Chain A
Amino acid sequence: MIEIHNITKAFDGNLVVTGVSETIQKGEIFTIIGPSGQGKTTLLRILGLLERPTSGEVLLDGISVTGLPASDPNRRRIGMVFQNPVVFKDSVFHNIAIGLRYRGLPKEEIRKKVLQKLHEIGLSGYEHRNATTLSGGEKQRVSLARVMVTGPDVLILDEPTANLDPVSTEVIEDLIRYYNRVYNTTVILSTHDMIQGQRLADRVAVMMNGRFVQSGTIFTIFTRPCSVDVAKFIGIGNIIPGTIIRNEEGLSVILTHGSLIHAIGTFPVGTKVKIAIRPEEITIHTGPDRFSSARNVIAGTIEKIMPIGIISRVSVKSGDLILSAQVTWQSVRELDLRPGDRVYLSFKVPSVHIMPDEP
């Protein structure tokens, strides 16, 4: 178990990490997501003991590891892989063996372990290759194997796939999952790719302005963002201002740009709020859908249709309210949707998330 106690880090008086506290359980994959430049790398460098915090400490199974010498046995329980694949100007074998050599293992044991790791990362037979001649994805696999061969309890990965192609990214993600499951290694990973966070994480923390603004399960973060900034970061396309005008039977009625929207909420009447609705939660019809159970139905006119890969984002205007709905290409064709068409948008009450209106 790794405990982060109130970590703060300042560079030349500028706070980069501000009072971060968290407990990460053994065997958990904990992902830190957030836009670039919010302190993720600095925090991970502190957890990887490459940087000393200005205040606070890191405990590994109850033992403070902050400030320990690099070769301390407890310090050696934490391994780190960086954003840019790092290899030494040497053979692949030497690259993977180096951490074991630091630990003074016998040659035969090193050989056995390195060959096993080469097999695991799918690079058997590469041991004599010069590591600098490998592709980016292969280099990152070597970087991962170099750490994992030392058997760390905690694996820290700082945006490990940020510079890799999708195929290499998938291989690295599979390896991370493999090492987590097979060796029960605690994984702390940072990424600005929220989908990667979704694919890998047991738990996620969103880091903004040097602090964890929200942490929880992927489901919580993606469906109940705590703020407009988080909602924007996780890609909620519709974030609209409104005012609670009525609370009835556990539902809030929000007036937004002349339209009424029903949502689950506890804010008092008169509160100014922001509501978030995912475009993928909104269904589009060309006429009123009498069979729909959706509580919210808004009629409007199509403003524009924007293709994004195999889907299309349809913007619909109703008075001053503009909502985006996400539909497949196929649906656009079948419904023969065109700008200027009159359509109906429907979405269920749980699809609407109310957030406090921030300045």
Chain B
Amino acid sequence: MNDLLAGCETAIRLILTADPEVLNITIRTLQITSSSVGISAIFAIPLGAVITFRNFYGKRLLISIIQTLYALPTVIVGLLCYMILSRSGPLGELKWLFTPYGMVFGQTILIIPIMTGLTIAALQGIDPGISDTIRSLGASHLQFLKTHLREARFAIMAAIIVGFSRAISEVGTAVMIGGNIKGHTRVLTTAISLQTSMGNFSLSLALGIILLAIALIINLFMSFLQNR
């Protein structure tokens, strides 16, 4: 209980005093997570739309596989990305291992299935009458897709929120690809992990509270957009 209270106190102090180290970690966390979410959205939303509206052999199996990948362990993604980005891996030339770029790469791989799957669910949830109306109004293929995405925008926003939450809270990929290098690849989750292993529970807790506060602010912002 004391640790909990101390953690809350420390969190408030760190936020109020704008502790440079914490600020630095927080900004880096936001940069890496936002980049992964942005890149994932660019791939996942159109991919989800194509899978929803195209009929092809094995479509159901593909959707099942995508849904299964929601449960992909972060350490497995970390391991795979490590192998891909390591010097001898297929993308070793990029020298992204132990860099924020590598972390963005890992998180993107981690959340693309979630955002694709939730986009598919969002588009499949649209009333078939809407699709018929769009077609009967003479929409081109692109207009058909754009109108559906607009119609499912709230559910797709929810997919983005889930992707963001998954990315900001994961630690496996961040540690394995980023290496938790101070001032370079240290993010909130890896900092929490390190501080806990060093016995600094109140600081860990404080960083956890900051992490949750960020997630809350992002969620509130998305809710605000949904309600507009």
**Which residues of chain A have a CB within 8 Å of any CB of chain B?**
45, 48-50, 69-72, 75-76, 78-80, 82, 84, 86, 88-90, 98-99, 102-103, 143, 146-147, 150
Q: Return chain B residues, CB-CB under 8 Å to A69.
A: 140
The B contact surface, by secondary structure, is helix
Closest Cβ neighbor of A72 among chain B residues: B138
**Which residues of chain B have a CB within 8 Å of any CB of chain A?**
127, 129-130, 132-133, 135-141, 143-144, 147, 150-151, 154
Q: How far is the CB of B154 from chain A (nearest CB, A)?
A: 8
A70–B130 contact, CB under 8 A? Answer: no
A70–B132 contact, CB under 8 A? Answer: no
B130–A88 contact, CB under 8 A? Answer: yes
A99–B137 contact, CB under 8 A? Answer: yes
A71–B139 contact, CB under 8 A? Answer: yes
Q: How far is the CB of B66 from chain A (nearest CB, A)?
A: 25
Task: Output the residue of A48, A69, A82, A102 with the most chain B CB within 10 A.
Answer: A102
Q: Return chain A residues, CB-CB under 8 Å to B144.
A: 70
Q: How far is the CB of B145 from chain A (nearest CB, A)?
A: 12
Known A84-B129, A86-B127, A86-B129; judge A102-B135 contact (CB<8 A): no
B138–A89 contact, CB under 8 A? Answer: no
Q: How far is the CB of B207 from chain A (nearest CB, A)?
A: 39
Q: Return chain B residues, CB-CB under 8 Å to A45.
A: 132
Task: Output the residue of A72, A89, A147 with the most chain B CB within 10 A.
Answer: A89
Q: How far is the CB of A359 from chain B (nearest CB, A)?
A: 39
B138 touches which of A70, A82, A86 (Cβ 8 Å): A70
Closest Cβ neighbor of A83 among chain B residues: B129
Q: Return chain B residues, CB-CB under 8 Å to A88.
A: 130, 147, 150-151
A50–B136 contact, CB under 8 A? Answer: yes
Q: Give 14 CB contacts A-B under 8 Å.
A: A45-B132, A50-B135, A70-B135, A70-B141, A71-B140, A71-B143, A75-B138, A86-B127, A89-B151, A90-B150, A99-B137, A102-B138, A102-B143, A143-B133
A98 touches which of B127, B129, B141, B147 (Cβ 8 Å): B147
Q: Return chain B residues, CB-CB under 8 Å to A102.
A: 137-140, 143
Q: Return chain B residues, CB-CB under 8 Å to A50.
A: 132, 135-136
Q: How far is the CB of A259 from chain B (nearest CB, A)?
A: 53
A86–B140 contact, CB under 8 A? Answer: no
Known A88-B147, A98-B147; judge A82-B140 contact (CB<8 A): no
Q: Return chain B residues, CB-CB under 8 Å to A103.
A: 138
A69 CA / B136 CA spacing, docked (Å): 11
A146–B151 contact, CB under 8 A? Answer: no
